[in-house]
Amino acid sequence: MTDENDIDRTFDRLVEAARHQDGAAFKAATRDYAQSAEGQAWLQSGHDRYQQIKAELQARAQAPQSPPGGSSSGPSSGP
């Protein structure tokens, strides 16, 4: 579980960096978060979700496509 104090501290750092237009401080805050346990867990969950979506899209692309309107067994003969 994430520590709310750490999240609040990171958010405060980002806000202060933005207020002072301090790109280096903003980058440092984001880097520190990305290297934290919470940041690593967040990055891993994003990576896992990406892999899941990628597998679903690959399976969908390899699945046989049925024509619109259901299955077709050839031309139908009319009256």
Query: How many domains, the chain?
Result: 1
Alpha-carbon gap, residue 69 to 76, rounded angstroms:
13
* pLDDT at position 1: 47
78: in domain: no
Query: What is the tens place of the pLDDT at every residue in 5-41?
Result: 888 999 999 999 999 999 999 999 999 999 999 999 9
Bigger pLDDT: 57 vs 1 = 57
pTM of model > 0.75:
no
Task: Show the domain range for 27.
Answer: 4-60
Using N-to-C axis directions, what is the helix angle for 37-62 and 23-35, rounded to 10°?
80
Query: What is the tens place of the pLDDT at every residue in 42-76?
Result: 999 999 999 999 999 999 999 887 767 655 555 55
